[in-house]
Structure 1
């Protein structure tokens, strides 16, 4: 069943065509993501399909009996209303009943209350109201009576998303739905999308989200749409195949073009004496071979300043706003090549910590001692402060006209901008003509050209396209300094960080060894072991409130994690004997392993070598299991 059809869409701004004669269709049950580079026209295409922006040419049509919900990248909300009033401003019968009930309740109208309560009962709107509050809570909006005028940009986006989800339309059109959501909210949204029988069309750069939610990917590239039936991983595979075919065809066309060019230059020069069909074919071939391969990857190998042995010492930091405690005696000593991710719900103090570390905010107590060679590069999520009426290249040249690469070579500002996917024409555009993602890319470039050795990135993935993210990740993997990242992009964090600071509320921060996925798996295993409560032997690995730097040990065999009661557990006589026996057994296993290793190193026939290798594998497994149990019992000795 066809829900949406777009035929021969064309849209241009000035002399630039975003797309021309583009045709697109959406059927019931499709969950489609539009991907592409910043500035390629994804948001414009989505707005045209949603009916908020007209195309220059072409037609968009919808099935008559369906409802459509649209989340804009910059939602327009009525500042005069409260959060609940905005959310209830839909057209469904249930929402109308809830509005009437809330109005009667506010005015203490007994007759109207009886009537509206009957309507609520008839339409099953009581459950609907509870669902509204649940969705708002999952998206981090707790105060439903808060005026919209007091909300931040991120909060407004979340309220707008909640309003669209609550309306439960047949067709959901979302522009960057995961922006400004914390990690738990994104995972909830994933589950919600997968549990709903909705048709979905969205723009997103969240690769895990695309992989888990979408069944089709549509790429907008050079004004053309390329469709892929599958999730994001399938799209990557098939796109690589398509690009290989295009590259091979381009090479073939160029070889043919060289031969045809020689023929065109031969006598007689008068074109009329040559075969016209061959001349036309030559002109077509000339246009095809003039296309450039898209090989302009970001090559972010800028030189960094030398980093000394002393990086930064954080001692007993505390900070609160009113009664809300954000940091409670947080202590940590940063080391060379630290790669740390920061996770936690919105409003728990992640950005506050970054601002204190960079001395943009003072703590209530505690201190930060920074080494003399540390040079911060701080990429913030705050509103962009770029000169709108200045050309892109002038903005970069104001910082540095020539930059040094790690290899010792130098590049000009224009060359560096090209590496950042700003072609020569785009470099001379005014900043106000850039898309949101292009402005973010420019902001990132301005941070990196200052040669920092301690990078602090606060939500760097917002509005960046996937191509930019991939190459940024490659650069950061080889970054020779310290790295501190706040991001809701789980894929980005998983690739780059080695341990995470988890903001748990009330000022507590846990230092967990591993990336985000490691932490989620550990927390899930802990919750299962404790009957739904995330505690256990690793639960006290909290950096805040300790008075000293606590670096957690690697976590192993999470399934055996036990719940630590509020009071220290006393071991039974049997457990004490088990603890003493384990020490002897582990020592014996280690000795046996050493013997087998010696036998393996001296050689033997094939069957012996296979048996010894298998025994070593089994010994390693036993040693690991018994060591985990010994460590668990040792906590209570």
Structure 2
């Protein structure tokens, strides 16, 4: 497999006069956990959609390395409204369900006196290996646990009547069960309660694939991220470490760059101290603090 899961080379993207990416070159490691931050309007969601293949760069290159899969949670995800909640979630493991169905079918075929046992045994062995690799033997339990942890609506609920928040939880559950190599999340903690956010943090920390997440939940960024990617005025600045480390590093850089950035450095220091405070009531996020951050 390639050294990098996703690569941008001199990538450029603009919406009218608004430059989102200005000759940006980046490379993402497999398994990396990356939080994306930046002012409102910096194009964070657009960048994720480029990485998902929904949008394209105007110039340069932006590509997923061959052999890898990608999945994205959009702010307004689409679900199949002809299916129930459970049926939508099961789409995330459709390949595994198909393998299980074929395994059961082969088992039935072996009961026939006219069966080609050698051929069927070989196929059953191959199927069992794939099912073992997918940890598929307790698939129903995995679905139930994920749906419960994310507070999904009842399994038989009609998707057409779900609220926006309920639809996002169903879409997130489906995506996590799908397990893409590159998992792109646009505000994943929106509409989740504190227990669900904690479960998601723990799940992503153990996730084998790469994760790139946009979120205003600073505790989530602190607990999950190994890197922070800052987008600002068409530029992309990677910082190794979690959100607190990013605040420290950027504050120090601004102080070095000169007195003109002293005010921004002070705000970053204040933001860092706020993040370090007791995480009580993390779901009741301070809107004033977030507004100040977006001005930095």
TM-score between the two structures when normalised by the length of structure 2: 0.77
Tell me whether 1:468 sits opposite 2:291 in the alignment: yes
> CA, structure 1 residues 471+166, in 2 after alignment: closer, same or farther (shift >3 Å)?
closer
2:16 to 14, 30, 33: 14
Written as runs of structure 1 = structure 2, the 5 A alignment for 1:296-445 is none
Written as runs of structure 1 = structure 2, the 5 A alignment for 1:1-150 is 1-90=3-92, 93-97=95-99, 100=101, 114=108, 122=128, 123-124=131-132, 125-150=136-161
Distance 1:73 1:5 in 2: 24
The superposition leaves residues 565-588 of structure 1 with CA deviations (integer Å, 9 ceiling, x where unpaired) of xxxxxxxxxxxxxxxxxxxxxxxx
Tell me whether 1:236 sits opposite 2:236 in the alignment: no
The superposition leaves residues 167-194 of structure 1 with CA deviations (integer Å, 9 ceiling, x where unpaired) of 1122211111111111000001111111
Q: Any conservation in 1 of the 2:183–2:209 contact (CA below 8 Å)?
A: yes
The equivalent of 1:224 in structure 2 is: 235
Q: Any conservation in 1 of the 2:85–2:153 contact (CA below 8 Å)?
A: no
Tell me whether 1:168 sits opposite 2:170 in the alignment: no
Structure 1 segments unaligned to the other structure (5+ residues): 102-109, 252-292, 298-340, 344-457, 473-637
Q: Which runs of 4+ in 1 moved over 3 A?
A: 90-93, 110-115, 458-461, 464-467, 469-472
Distance 2:245 2:83 in 1: 44
Report the secondary structure of 1:205's partner residue. coil
Report the secondary structure of 1:89's partner residue. helix
Q: Any conservation in 1 of the 2:69–2:180 contact (CA below 8 Å)?
A: yes
Distance 1:82 1:224 in 2: 42
Distance 1:58 1:189 in 2: 35
Report the secondary structure of 2:27's partner residue. strand
Report the secondary structure of 2:40's partner residue. coil
The structural deviation recorded for 1:48 is 0.8
Q: Any conservation in 1 of the 2:37–2:228 contact (CA below 8 Å)?
A: yes
Report the secondary structure of 2:5's partner residue. strand
Distance 1:229 1:111 in 2: 50
Report the secondary structure of 2:258's partner residue. helix
Decide which structure has the larger Cα Rg and report it.
1
2:219 to 189, 202, 208: 208
The structural deviation recorded for 1:465 is 10
Distance 2:209 2:292 in 1: 29
Pairs aligned (count): 258
Report the secondary structure of 1:88's partner residue. helix
The structural deviation recorded for 1:459 is 6.2
The structural deviation recorded for 1:15 is 1.7
The superposition leaves residues 439-464 of structure 1 with CA deviations (integer Å, 9 ceiling, x where unpaired) of xxxxxxxxxxxxxxxxxxx9666xx7
Distance 1:72 1:164 in 2: 11
Report the secondary structure of 2:67's partner residue. coil
Q: Any conservation in 2 of the 1:31–1:201 contact (CA below 8 Å)?
A: yes
Distance 1:93 1:14 in 2: 41
- Ranked by relative contact order (alpha carbons within 8 Å, sequence separation 6 or more), the top structure is 2
Structure 1 or 2: larger helix share? 2
The structural deviation recorded for 1:112 is 9.2
> CA, structure 1 residues 226+466, in 2 after alignment: closer, same or farther (shift >3 Å)?
farther
TM-score between the two structures when normalised by the length of structure 1: 0.37
Q: Any conservation in 1 of the 2:150–2:173 contact (CA below 8 Å)?
A: yes
Q: Any conservation in 2 of the 1:205–1:466 contact (CA below 8 Å)?
A: no
Q: Any conservation in 2 of the 1:36–1:465 contact (CA below 8 Å)?
A: no
Q: Any conservation in 1 of the 2:19–2:233 contact (CA below 8 Å)?
A: no
The structural deviation recorded for 1:18 is 2.2
